[in-house]
């Protein structure tokens, strides 16, 4: 029986993939990215060697994760950072909720963090009565629409300026405009007041440097810098897999993340934070908390075949090239992480039985594996998940069907006979193909059944021999 | 057992099985890194300082960073005044640093020093800071809480103006991280950042808009022979 998530995915993706306007829009917005990515990638002296090197660095970090995590937490802890290790999403949420209560917080400002989407932090904080504001423009837009991000890097890429203007008009009372610049300035003005007012700033992190005990945050807008500079308390939420061994590793990872993710040579702000405000500094938060989240990452780690999925730097490159993502859209998945990487890791993070359908949401074209800057074997992992899911099923009907097929193809005369009968009936089937009367409708509603050749190869060969 | 021990325990348990090395599906040695340093595959950078400044200027033009080269601190000061008049500044925010002292000596505008208690750079029209280095490879400015007056000064005002010395131009990103080590040893500031161009966003229809949350304008004044 397909899970409720599988049903939802099927419903949403069926609807959206038939929406030609949506498809056109997504292709259009990814065009500029493709051009820029090509151009920036060509500036590398050797992009393929850079990928291999990045993959090896991540392999080293993930396969010695215990060592590097201890080094990272010892170093950053020694500089006055408070650390919390969370095994589950609930523990992470509760820690942050308790902290907010302890600090008598009212307003909490956030910069973009997919990990907080993963643990449903906003809902928990809002439910407890705190005002939670996403400061990243795209995240703010989807928050206003009460939607989940469409794409892990470009959360609002599915919306037109008209829709955004309308949204702002309705929710913020701003005048309608069709200028992206004006729309951006509306949010800039709104956020300015919030940074100073907020009691707590919550961020994610792109990397955690073991050697020097720092987190690294990559962003273009400057909202993460403000979120981590102005409020009195800064909380960074990060998955345990974010560790890199050396500070110098960033020299490779920062340009690779920017190139693969957004077609930029390097992102506008790459900030390294190694503690709260120090005694000789003029500003910065008084308290800095790091929440390290497991949330079943150790289960993925325990699968050596798919362990490299933890190399992911969340650049989103695999989404951008994925023919499935580009047709069904990011919100159809119902997952925190969309696209190929989401389809690979969600069954590990949320259970194979419920999410195995995502392994089939793939054409196995391998475009994702080809672009991944850290060489995750994405399309093979989708196959691994299919295999693992098949082992869970009894598969009785499938096995029977194949037994019948094997029986037929091994008996030549019978096979030709059945083929002839099918050929005869197929000419009638064409009349009802895809209609409600069609027993094969599940297949034919959106596809064509190929016609059986009027002459089989065997028949053709025979006629030639004469 | 503490949470930390629990998670570390799970990690150790998980790592008992060995994973295949990355790229194992590729043809043998096809894409092996050829050198010992990322310098061999990152975008190339010229080695002489004159060309590095040119490279920085090219990146700046691409990113819409205003890049101005002057021959003395006095000239830098004149440039600051000129930009201030053109933009109609009323209040300048800055921090205490030798290179900024002369550049701001005859600015004729009130200067808010971030070291003063309760200084709020939000009200200023410009934040003027020093930096640790300019990276030719990417057109980035490397600065820290110590070299640039804390965390907010370089991001809160609508215009960020950096004054740098020619000797601060470095080749590439690996050099930037080596430099941080050289300057700070193990005692790093709590905040360090690489700034590349003005604040920007592409969240609406993937159209680039400058000044999303941080500075809309970024100016770098490079003082040559200094």
pLDDT of residue A147: 94
20-79 of B, contacting A, C-beta below 8 A: 20-23, 25, 30-34, 38, 40-44, 59
Mutate to test the interface with B, among A110, A196, A282 (most CBs of B within 10 A): A282
From the list A44, A49, A64, which residue is nearest B33 (CB)?
Answer: A49
Block means of pLDDT (10 residues each) for chain A, 466 residues, are: 91 93 92 94 95 95 98 97 98 98 97 97 97 97 96 95 96 95 96 94 98 98 97 98 97 97 97 97 97 97 97 97 95 96 96 94 94 96 94 84 94 92 88 86 84 88 87
Q: What is the pLDDT of residues A389-434, one digit of tens each?
A: 988 887 788 889 999 999 999 999 999 999 999 999 888 888 888 8
Whether the CB of A279 is below 8 Å from some CB of chain B: the reply is no
B183 domain residue, yes or no:
yes
B22 domain residue, yes or no:
no
Tokens representing residue B176 in the block: 């930037």
State the pairing for strand pair B133-135/B140-144. Answer: antiparallel
Domain count, chain B: 1
Whether the CB of B10 is below 8 Å from some CB of chain A: the reply is yes
Burial class (CB in 10 A: 0-12, 13-18, 19+), B48: exposed
Q: Which domain holds residue B188?
A: 50-223
From the list A49, A65, A137, which residue is nearest B203 (CB)?
Answer: A137
At residue B38 the predicted structure's pLDDT band, cuts being 50, 70 and 90, is: confident
Q: What is the pLDDT of residues B135-148, one digit of tens each?
A: 999 999 999 999 99
Whether the CB of A12 is below 8 Å from some CB of chain B: the reply is no
Q: What is the pLDDT of residues B183-224, one digit of tens each?
A: 999 999 999 999 999 999 999 999 999 999 999 999 999 999
Alpha helices by DSSP H, A270-411: 297-301, 317-321, 323-328, 339-350, 352-355, 367-371, 378-392, 396-409
CB contact under 8 A, A281 and B150: yes
**B202 contacts in A (CB within 8 Å)?**
154, 220, 262
Whether the CB of B180 is below 8 Å from some CB of chain A: the reply is yes
Whether the per-residue pLDDT at B30 is higher than 60: the answer is no
B40 domain residue, yes or no:
no
H/E element holding A21?
Answer: helix A20-43
Whether the per-residue pLDDT at B33 is higher than 60: the answer is no
pLDDT of residue A127: 97
Tokens representing residue A138 in the block: 């795209």
B206 domain residue, yes or no:
yes
From the list B14, B34, B211, which residue is nearest A301 (CB)?
Answer: B14
Q: What is the mean pLDDT of chain B?
A: 93
Report in angstroms the alpha-carbon separations of A187 from A176, A182, B159: 14, 9, 18
From the list A58, A66, A284, which residue is nearest B151 (CB)?
Answer: A284
B17 domain residue, yes or no:
no
Pick the CATH number of A44-295 from 3.40.50.10420, 2.70.98.10, 3.30.200.20, 1.20.120.140: 3.40.50.10420
**How far away is chain A from the Cα of B43, in angstroms, using its nearest Cα?**
4
B209 domain residue, yes or no:
yes
DSSP string, A382-417: HHHHHHHHHHHS--HHHHHHHHHHHHHHT-HHHHHH
B203 domain residue, yes or no:
yes
129-158 of A, contacting B, C-beta below 8 A: 135-138, 141, 154-157
pLDDT of residue B14: 97
pTM over 0.80: yes
Whether the per-residue pLDDT at B129 is higher than 60: the answer is yes
**How far away is chain B from the Cα of A292, in angstroms, using its nearest Cα?**
9
Check which CATH number belongs to the domain holding B154 and give it. Answer: 3.40.50.10420
pLDDT of residue A217: 98
């Amino acid at each position: 029986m397909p899970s409720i998530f599988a049903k939802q995915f099927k419903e949403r993706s069926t609807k959206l993939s038939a929406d030609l306007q949506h498809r056109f829009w997504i292709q259009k917005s990814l065009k500029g990215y493709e051009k820029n990515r090509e151009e920036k990638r060509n500036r590398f002296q050797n992009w393929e060697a850079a990928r291999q090197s990045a993959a090896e660095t991540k392999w080293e970090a993930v396969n010695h994760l215990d060592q590097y995590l201890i080094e990272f937490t010892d170093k950053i802890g020694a500089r006055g950072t408070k650390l919390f290790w969370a095994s589950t999403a609930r523990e992470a949420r509760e820690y942050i909720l308790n902290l907010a209560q302890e600090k008598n917080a009212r307003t909490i400002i956030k910069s973009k963090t997919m990990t907080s989407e993963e643990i449903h932090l906003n809902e928990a904080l809002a439910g407890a009565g705190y005002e939670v504001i996403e400061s990243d423009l795209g995240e703010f837009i989807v928050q206003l629409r009460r939607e989940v991000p469409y794409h892990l890097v470009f959360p609002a890429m599915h919306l037109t300026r008209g829709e955004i203007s309308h949204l702002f008009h309705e929710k913020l009372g701003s005048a309608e405009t069709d200028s992206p610049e004006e729309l951006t300035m509306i949010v800039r003005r709104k956020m300015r007041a919030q940074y100073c007012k907020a009691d707590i700033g919550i961020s994610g992190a792109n990397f955690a440097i073991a050697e020097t005990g720092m987190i690294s945050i990559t962003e273009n807008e400057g909202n993460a810098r403000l979120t981590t500079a102005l409020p009195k308390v800064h909380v960074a939420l990060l998955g345990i897999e974010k560790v890199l061994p050396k500070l110098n590793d960033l020299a490779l990872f920062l340009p690779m993340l920017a190139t693969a993710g957004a077609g930029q040579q390097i992102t506008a702000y790459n900030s390294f934070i190694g503690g709260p405000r120090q005694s000789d500094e003029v500003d910065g938060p008084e308290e800095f908390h790091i929440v390290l989240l497991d949330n079943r990452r150790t289960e993925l780690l325990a699968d050596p075949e798919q362990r490299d999925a933890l190399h992911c730097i969340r650049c989103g490159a695999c989404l951008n090239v994925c023919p499935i993502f580009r047709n069904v859209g990011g919100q159809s998945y119902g997952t925190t992480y969309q696209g190929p990487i989401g389809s690979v890791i969600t069954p590990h993070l949320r259970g194979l039985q419920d999410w195995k359908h995502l392994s089939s949401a793939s054409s196995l074209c391998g475009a994702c594996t080809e672009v991944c800057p850290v060489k995750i074997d994405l399309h093979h992992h989708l196959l691994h998940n299919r295999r693992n899911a098949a082992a869970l099923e009894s598969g009785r009907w499938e096995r029977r069907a194949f037994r019948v097929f094997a029986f037929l193809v091994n008996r030549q005369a019978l096979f030709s006979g059945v083929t002839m009968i099918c050929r005869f009936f197929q000419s009638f089937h064409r009349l009802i193909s895809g209609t409600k009367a069609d027993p094969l409708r599940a297949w034919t509603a959106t596809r064509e059944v190929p016609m059986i050749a009027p002459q089989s190869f065997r028949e053709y060969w025979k006629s030639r021999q004469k | 057992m503490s949470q930390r021990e629990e998670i570390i325990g799970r990690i150790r348990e998980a790592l008992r099985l060995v994973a295949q090395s990355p790229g194992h599906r590729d043809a043998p040695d096809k894409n092996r890194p050829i050198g010992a340093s990322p310098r061999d595959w990152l975008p190339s950078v010229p080695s002489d300082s004159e060309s590095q400044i040119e490279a920085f200027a090219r990146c700046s033009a691409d990113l819409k960073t205003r890049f101005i080269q002057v021959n003395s601190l006095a000239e830098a000061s004149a440039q600051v005044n000129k930009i201030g008049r053109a933009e109609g500044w009323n209040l300048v925010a800055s921090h205490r640093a030798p290179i900024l002292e002369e550049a701001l000596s005859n600015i004729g505008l009130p200067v808010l020093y971030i070291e003063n208690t309760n200084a709020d750079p939000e009200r200023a029209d410009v934040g003027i800071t020093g930096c640790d280095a300019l990276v030719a490879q990417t057109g980035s400015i490397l600065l820290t809480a110590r070299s640039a007056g804390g965390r907010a000064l370089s991001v809160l005002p609508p215009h960020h103006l950096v004054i740098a010395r020619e000797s601060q131009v470095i080749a590439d990103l690996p050099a930037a991280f080596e430099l941080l080590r050289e300057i700070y040893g193990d005692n790093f500031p709590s905040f360090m950042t690489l700034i590349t161009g003005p604040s920007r966003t592409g969240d609406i229809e993937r159209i680039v808009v400058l000044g999303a949350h941080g500075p809309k304008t970024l100016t770098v004044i490079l003082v040559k022979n200094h």
